[in-house]
Amino acid sequence: MAEHAMYFADDKARKIYLTKKILGKVACYLFLSIFALFIVAPFVMMVVGSFINYESFHEFAKTADFKWLGFSGGNWGFKNYKHIFDMSDKNLQFPTYFLNTFIVAIGSTTVTVVTAVLAAFAFARLEFKGKEPLFALLLATMMIPGEMMVITNYMTVDVLHWRNTFAALILVHGVSVFYVFYLRQTFQQIPNELYLAAKVDGVSDMGYLLKVMVPIAMPTITTIIILSMMGSWNSYVWPNLVAREGWALNENHTMKLVSNGLRDAFALTDSGATNMEAVKIAGSMVISTPLFIVFILFRKYIMRGVSRSGIKG
């Protein structure tokens, strides 16, 4: 009898444990689903709104009734996207904006990766006087908001006569303290014995960096590349300050990027047009689509770079 009582007690405890576990998972997934809905809903509305023709969008915005739109009568289509490239009278040079943004993203990312790799290697492997205080001072600059540097950076660019040039748009983002710190943590996970063995074999510091450390830390470097390109693509404040006019060597070539260029173009319509909301949403979709594609294609590298410490085992 005692054994049967113990069996039923254990079975009851097991059922209670499984019930609690299932309810916990249901509550967790329910919370995550609600949270994901709040994140995804604005993006879905942006996609839907970009296909509502701008003549119909104003009435739809007042009623918020999808039945009013229907799927016939010309309320849906690619008219908003076509209108973006037809706004020549608004001085909108959309292909030029994309070209400028692509050049700035590639250039700033290249400079950022080079400086981050060299600085992280120096702080992780090389021994020199004042290394730790210098690195602590470098980390302390992360506590300073970037907006506080805008005025001094602008004054420097103005003195160097770099306004409306790619140099001002690229070099100002050429160093990232966070990426240096992030990559240094990965480099420190690589055994120092590899570095000492390479020195015994006569390998230079640069050769060891390129042949050993960079391949091992490639997931982290790939993450830095992707995040840096995304930051350059979304940049707005700095290009809005230093890229307001035409290129010094070619006044017909504007230096604006997609973010501030599109915003300035639509600002011209705010006073004279009231039905441009759908076109603006379509413009946001055009700007966001390349980043979305990059994230979909390289998301596994981002996750791998964040989760991997540098080496296996």
- Residue 312 inside a domain? The answer is no
**57, part of any domain:** yes
Judgement on whether residues 113 and 59 belong to the same structural domain of the protein: no
Judgement on whether residues 68 and 131 belong to the same structural domain of the protein = no
Structure-block tokens of residue 203: 């390998």
Average pLDDT over residues 70-96: 65
Stretch 273-295: mean pLDDT, rounded? Answer: 75
**Are 49 and 278 spatial neighbours (Cβ–Cβ below 8 Å)?**
yes
Within-domain flag for 8? yes
Domain end (from 47, 81, 115): 81
Residues 64 and 93 in one domain: no
Q: How confident is the model at residue 145 (pLDDT cuts 50, 70, 90)?
A: confident
Q: Which of 81, 113, 139 is the last residue of a domain?
A: 81
Residue 249: what pLDDT? 46
Cα 187 from Cα 165, distance rounded (Å): 35
18-40 per-position pLDDT tens digit: 888 898 899 999 998 998 888 88
Token digits for 170? 């690229």
Q: Which residues constitute the domain of residue 29?
A: 2-81
In a domain, 98, yes or no: yes
> Considering the domain boundaries, does residue 142 fall inside one?
yes
Which residues touch 190 (CB under 8 Å, ≥6 apart)?
A: 212, 213, 216, 217, 310, 311
Partners of 246 in beta bridges: 254
Query: From the centroid of its chain, how far is CA 210?
Result: 26
Task: Flag whether 113 is in a domain.
Answer: yes
58 with 171, same domain: the answer is no
Higher pLDDT, 251 or 278: 278
Residues 46 and 195 in one domain: no
Across the range 116-135, mean pLDDT stands at: 89
Residue 280 lies in a domain: yes
Quick one: what percent of the chain has pLDDT higher than 90?
A: 9
- What does the alpha-carbon distance between residue 235 and residue 112 come to, in Å, rounded to a whole number? 15
Question: Has residue 130 been placed in a domain?
Answer: yes
- Average pLDDT over the chain reads 77
Examine the domain organization and report whether 18 and 145 are in the same domain. no
**Cα–Cα dist 111/103, whole Å:** 12
Same domain flag for 264 and 226: yes
Give residue 144's pLDDT band: very low, low, confident or very high (50, 70, 90): confident
Task: Give tens-digit pLDDT for 162-217.
Answer: 888 888 888 887 888 899 999 998 898 888 888 888 888 888 888 888 888 888 88
Together in a domain, 224 and 276: yes
> Per residue in 251-275, pLDDT tens?
556 788 888 777 766 665 554 444 5
Identify the pLDDT of residue 306.
57
Domain co-membership, 289 together with 216: yes
| 245 and 286 belong to one structural domain | yes
pLDDT-derived band at 309, boundaries 50, 70, 90: very low
Q: Could you tell me the CATH number of the domain that includes residue 172?
A: 1.10.3720.10
The overall pTM is greater than 0.85: no
Lowest mean pLDDT among 93-97, 116-120, 153-157, 252-256: 252-256
DSSP the chain: -HHHHHHHHHHHHHHHHHHHHHHHHHHHHHHHHHHHHHHHHHHHHHHHHHTB-HHHHHHHHHH--HHHH-SSTT-BSSHHHHHHHT-GGGT--HHHHHHHHHHHHHHHHHHHHHHHHHHHHHHHT---TTHHHHHHHHHHGGGS-GGGGHHHHHHHHHHTT-TTSHHHHHHTTS--HHHHHHHHHHHHTS-HHHHHHHHHTT--HHHHIIIIIHHHTHHHHHHHHHHHHHHHHT--HHHHHH-SSEETTEEEEE---HHHHHHHHHHTTTTT-SS-HHHHHHHHHHHHHHHHHHHHHHHHHHHHHHH--SS--
Say whether both 61 and 100 belong to one domain.
Answer: no
Domain tally, the chain: 2
- Pair (71, 127) in one structural domain: no
Q: Which of 224, 258, 249 is nearest to 103 (CA)?
A: 258
User: Among the three residues 58, 81, 104, which one is the final residue of a domain in this structure?
Assistant: 81
* CA–CA distance, 159 with 141 (Å, rounded to integer): 24
